[in-house]
Amino acid sequence: MILQDPAVQSLTSFVGVDGTNPSLNSARLQINLKPLDERDDRVQKVIARLQTAVDKVPGVDLFLQPTQDLTIDTQVSRTQYQFTLQATSLDALSTWVPQLMEKLQQLPQLSDVSSDWQDKGLVAYVNVDRDSASRLGISMADVDNALYNAFGQRLISTIYTQANQYRVVLDTTLKIPQASRRWIPFA
């Protein structure tokens, strides 16, 4: 769709978590336009046209902004301007981010207001029978290490090449029979 626009020369996509994208369900697109003498429209008109076309795709939010070849920002944002909200408590952020977003989206002076706040991740509470674990010689450190090995992407090695380095992380596929989902043995 984007490459079909007569003003677009090329498109590069970056999908998933990297130094810029905070989550798997986000992506960045770098859209290079043809030189001005090879296209009929200026950047703002091309942005409006692309935005209108992509708005028809369900489930996709696209935030377009013109950028210069030189960027000195330390964090890439979805839009030209960004505001960072910080708190010492996750509960405070969970309360204030949606409220702030709602108010900002109502301001007629602002457009394409977005947030990278995602607080709907999976949560699990682990209740350890410490007496039974102690009888079996399993310490809380052992339980913590087992959980981190399974879910925490423990770094176990780094592979170095001439051009790059690749982290090797521990991963597991946990398969628990449906009937026994109440207790998970760690031994």
Query: For position 116, what pLDDT does the model report?
Result: 78
pLDDT band at 73 (very low <50, low <70, confident <90, very high): low
Burial group, residue 64, by CB count within 10 angstroms (0-12, 13-18, 19+) = buried
pLDDT band at 113 (very low <50, low <70, confident <90, very high): confident
pLDDT band at 23 (very low <50, low <70, confident <90, very high): confident
Token couple for 8: 């677009």
Q: For a pLDDT cut of 70, what percent of the chain falls above it?
A: 83
Q: Which pTM value belongs to this model?
A: 0.43
pLDDT tens string 133-163: 999 999 999 999 988 888 888 889 999 988 8
pLDDT band at 75 (very low <50, low <70, confident <90, very high): low
Query: For position 170, what pLDDT does the model report?
Result: 87
CA angle 163, 169, 171 (to 5 degrees): 145
Query: Around Cβ 100, how many Cβ atoms within 10 Å?
Result: 16
Q: Is the pLDDT of residue 70 over 60?
A: no
